[in-house]
Structure 1
Amino acid sequence: MQPAMMWHKVLFFVVICSHSALGQVSYSIPEEMAKGSMVGNIAQDLGLDLKRLKTGKALIFSGDSTEYIELNRERGMLLIKEKIDRESLCAKTTPCALHLQMILENPMEMYTITVEITDINDNAPIFQKGDISFEISESAIIGARFMLDGAVDADVGPNGLQSYSIQPTDHFVLEMQSHADGGKNVEMVLKRPLDRELNERFTLLLTAIDGGQPVLSGTVQIHVTVLDVNDNAPIFTQKVYKTSVIENSIKGTKLTTVSASDADEGSNGQVTYFISNLNEDGKEIFMINRESGEITLSGQIDYEKTTQYQLDIKAKDQGGLADSCKVNVEVIDINDNNPTITVMSISNSISEESPPSTVVAMMKVYDPDSSVNGQVHCSIAENIPFLIISTSNNFFSLRTDQELDRERNAEYNITVICSDEGVPSLSSIASLHLQIIDVNDNAPVFERRSYEAFVVENNTPGLSIFAVKARDADSNQNARVSYILEDSTVNGVPVSSYLSVRADSGLINSVRSFDYEQFKNFHFRIIAQDGGSPPLSSNVTVTIKIRDQNDNAPQVLYPVQTGGSMVAEIVPRSADVGYLVTKVVAVDVDSGQNAWLSYKLQKATDRALFEVGPQNGEIRTVRQVTDKDAVKQKLTVVVEDNGQPSRSAVVNINVAVADSFPEVLSELIDFSHGKEYNDNVTFYLVLALAAVSFLFITCVVVIISVKIYRWRQSRVFYQSNLPVIPYYPPGYTDTGVTGTLPHMFNYDVCMTTNSRKSDCKYSTLGGQSVLMVDPSFTETMQRAMVDNGLYEDPDSAQLVRAFIRSLSNNDAEPLLKHALDSPTHTTLNNQRKKSSPRVSVSPTSTLNILVSCPR
């Protein structure tokens, strides 16, 4: 029969939507639908968008290997992939249904689909035998029953076997007997006695009719042979026998024994047994002893194929009379099947920032055993941050149990063990491999908390100094570290002008040459930044310590070496042994042993008279000074450091051996100028004094003029009655920066108690003292020179004039500092007891001139 002819007469589908966590849809379709026919619009019935089916990579899973239904993602339709034969799929089982699962990814979802296969009348009733033979005694009484082998119709329900008919109906009629299990027996009942002499043999046509539209039928011929006198049929002791057998029992296992008795004697009372109405599979499993009625196993029995069997047993005597009974065989299940694990969907990788309970995989576990033998639970073998839970019957999902950390475990090999609850328990294993995708959650970490490097000063620019190293626990781009020099300053200069760092390796190179005397160490920060998005970073402090080189020669601070000034130390002739002549003071800006200084006397006019301390630089007399010693003594002292190689400096010291001041001045002039000193010096001194005097007188005249002008203005203002606004001219000072002395010198002048009558004037500007010289001061100096007899000595007179001239040329300090403030200033100090002017200069950078004028 063509299934398409009934298509318009059968309900196409019924949709039932469930509101549970897993969507459930049910359809009902007839069997034998053509390939490509539509089962239902799954997208519409589940309320899904077609785009969701595509992006979710929707897949259909079935319970067995045969795929009858396929999914069209483009249309959202379920289509027939293979023609479905309900009889081969479910046999007599009703209802007959396909249980499917549809899986969606991103996010992972599962929907259960039930497709019920309805029966169509595509199978006619079929008799197992081509014909049926009966031998009936002519003595059979009216109402005698003869069991017929019924027909088999693979269809179910209304399409199954419904009725029988027999032709002709002269001697027999048919009766149907229905059983509680739905089965039907047909019996042929004698309605009129047989007469062997009239009709020894005749043929009947038995027709089996189903209830489909159109009606289908099957026929079989019944050949009846009339026998003579056998009027007792066999009778079974029980109409129904029940027994049970354990699956996988061996061949020959006894099930039960049936028994029937016949009241006849002789051959008419001999009963034989046989199994009727048994399909081919049953014939290979069961066997009956024709003589004893013992039923045994002849093949392998499997609970997963059939849970129970019903056997029709016939007992027949030699006269053809028979009786029938049923044997119900129940198959007892044993735990002989391992659970079957089917991974329906799996994510091969997952981000480490995935939240807990993220679904990684979905599995279906099926155990065909029954009861506890088919109840399955799954677990994970390892102690890993995953768990497996049952979402519904036989469905399990693998999910994350806690936050993942790729730096701890970059991948997982997950072993899922599914076991049933049978005794002994059977189990199956599924192995899943999962990669953890890295996220940038780790900042670079330096190998040290701080770094310290050393570099020798005067290094070559571009020198590689040191390298820092940071590691990032992330992977790939997230672990690619770049090094950056943090902006900072060293002595007010950007650190980038001193150093550079390679971004890829962290190598620190010098940009310029370092000078230990400029700074001894400095520190800066280096930032390590990874390549993630957003990037993470950390920093570390690096200290660069500069090591000293002996690149500076010693510097002599005292005595000061000047080109044209007279510098001399005075040693009285009465000096004892060890008399301190002077002390050489030197420094070395280097450090360590490079700054350790030693002193030695290189040359001397009389090496037997002086010696220099090798450690302190003190120049002392070695012996008693005698009258034979020359007045002029010249010493050359070498100052040498302890570096490798060493550096040195040379200082020349003039020493005057004399007891009187004129003699000292004369020798000082000779030290300074030698034979080339002539009378031109006197001319220059007089010219300088005249210039200073002229400037002083000019300043006095200007000041007096300004005072008179202000006085007259004030008189006019007070005497006038007009509202005249007074004018105040800007205040001028007489001691501005236009003075004759530079700012770097500070002259402090001590005056008498009545300073207004003093011959000296004192002025202060901005913390600097300036000495103003007027003619009265010059006259005072001249009188002092006459009183002390300095004019009598031409050399002394020239020296004093040079001092006065130096007041305007800024040369007074070096001249008097070395001539008057020496270890031999005792001679001059003796002059302080007199009333003449006294001059004292300290050997410091600030010149202090003390002038005491007579009252």
Structure 2
Amino acid sequence: MESRQRKGYGGWPVLSLWFSLACFTGATAQLSYSILEELRPGAVVGNIAKDLGLTVQRIIQRKLRVISESNAQYFEVNHATGDLVIRQTIDREHMCELSSTCSLHLEINPLAIHRVLVDIVDANDNAPQFSTKNISLEISEAAAPGTRFRLESAHDPDVGINSLRTYHLAPNDCFVLNVETKSDGSKFPELVLEKALDRETQASFRLLLTAVDGGKPEKSGSTLLLIKILDVNDNAPVFEEPVKKVSILENVEPGTLVTKLNATDADYGQNGQISFLFSKYTQDRVLKLFSVDSKTGEIRVNGQVDYETANEYHITVQARDGGTPAMEGSCNIIVDVTDVNDNSPEVTLTSLTSPIREDAAPGTVIALISARDLDSGKNGEVTLKVQSGLPFKLNSAFGEHYNLVTDGNLDQETIAEYTVVIMATDAGSPPLSSRTTFVVKLSDVNDNAPSFSQPSYSVDVPENNDLSTPITMVTASDPDTGDNARVSFSILPSMVQGSPISSYVYINPETGHIYSMRSLDYETLNAFRIEVQARDAGAPPRTANVTVHVFVVDLNDNAPLIVYPPFPQDTGLLLSVPQSAGPGHLINKLVGVDPDSGHNAWLFYSIAPGPHAGLFRIAPHTGELRTARKLAEEEGGSAYDIIRPSKDLHLQLNTDGPIRYMEVVGGAQDPPGTRTYRPCYSTISSRSDFVFVKTPMMSHNNTLSMTLNRKHLMNSAIEVRALGGGGGILANRV
């Protein structure tokens, strides 16, 4: 038997398949063929008849047939041509898998058994294949460059040069491919990290891995590498705005949203979960006013925001991820507080001069006033105004400071103090205002003299007065204050009836009470004047004078006297009456006087009671003594003792009605039995003797004795009486 080995097509390794061709010739021959796999049925392997040295007819005669060792019949003999042909397509990879040789044993019966070696030459009919369409791979972004990751190998059922030759990786920035060869010649790929990974830049890769065989033309198979970059907490959260400026109104309600922060973390999963919090260095006042939601990043007002306390807040908020260790990012928030006109102006009295002299010149600075408003802008612009109607005005000094100065003449006696109201108003909308009130007192200047309560005084002092009792009191006031208003009294020197006034009266310098130094006697001195001076204690002092008219009031301290007809001192007055005298016969006219005055000197005549009082009558006012009836004959020559100076003549005093004063002047003697009375005049009034000089009986004039004072004497009733010869009275009032 002969054995041969041949090269396959193109020099590829040949898989040998042995088969026998049997024929019963008594001899055994071995042939060797080499064919490509995957030939179509009918393809000629070789001319078996020729190779065996047989003719076609002999093959037919011997009934040459092919017997295969396997159940499959891959070959048959064409008896017409003697060719060994393919009966069914041979798939070497299916038949022999990866074996380097592959044989089929054929027998040719019945003449002899011939062994035929058929080399099945591999055809590059298979592309390399990966077991899956996708290969998933997880790589940490922290992997160092140079790190290798072994990949799944591809499978190529072809052998030899048609088998898997190498791998290719699609171009990318981070990975390269390394192909390693095992000791058995097989190859496997390794993924090599060439550049540091950053999951946040590229979280995954889709790379095409291709396995290429050595066939011509070459075939390839690919799989998709799905590389997932595992996150490492290598990124801190990042705010959209590292510095954010927002504005809020002051006095907003708690819970008002200030702003919402947004932050991102390029990391994944827990490493990218962000929570918000205030920096640990945040001031307490900020923590009291604001809060931050750890999940949403919302910053809200948590307290009372007041522009005047702070008009700007700097808040540092941190965004912290959930990695281990955690990483943080920060954001600086500038919160501008917008002013609201919620503050009234404040007025401060920084300096006050009080009291001030009432003679201060206009423009004198009284007070320094400052004004401010904690608000800003128009809300903080303050206008000051002083209450109208006051003698003051405001002058701007500098900035928010003002001077309050006098703006007119001051008079402490008219207004001793002023209540000053300063109104401050801002320019907000609506405007707010406030006020401050203070008192400016005026200090007195001795610019006023004392003033008596009356322009003059009139006082009635009863004669025989009590020396311990003041006869009157003068009062004076001084509109000034203090020593300038402290008044003392004194009596100015003068003379009364040749004697100093000081010998008659003195005055209490403090109270103004005037006392008599002697008991007054109307009949000696019925009136006098006192000049009183009031002096204040200012420097220099000021004075005022007033006249006090003192009228001595007559008391009935003197008894009347009969002056006509004269009374003998040792005997009574003897008057005669004719026997023939009838009723009303004038016996005589009695004239009495009284040193007193007024009603105390007004005389009434009457006959003293007695047994003979009925024989006579006397005129009560004129003193005319007359017969009451005709005397009886038996009464003639009798003596009647009816008038005695101290007893029989009774002079009654009239205390009712006006005071009347009458003087009777007798005329020349008439013939016996007759008497002529000439008219006489007299002024009679309750105060007439103080007001008028006594008028002579025959005078027709009344003369004033003093300056009239309306308060002292509103009016005076003057009764003028003319006394005729018949005793009648004619009265006229003026």
Normalising to structure 1: TM-score of the pair?
A: 0.42
- Greater helix fraction, Structure 1 or Structure 2: 1
- Larger Rg computed on CA atoms: 2
Normalising to structure 2: TM-score of the pair?
A: 0.48
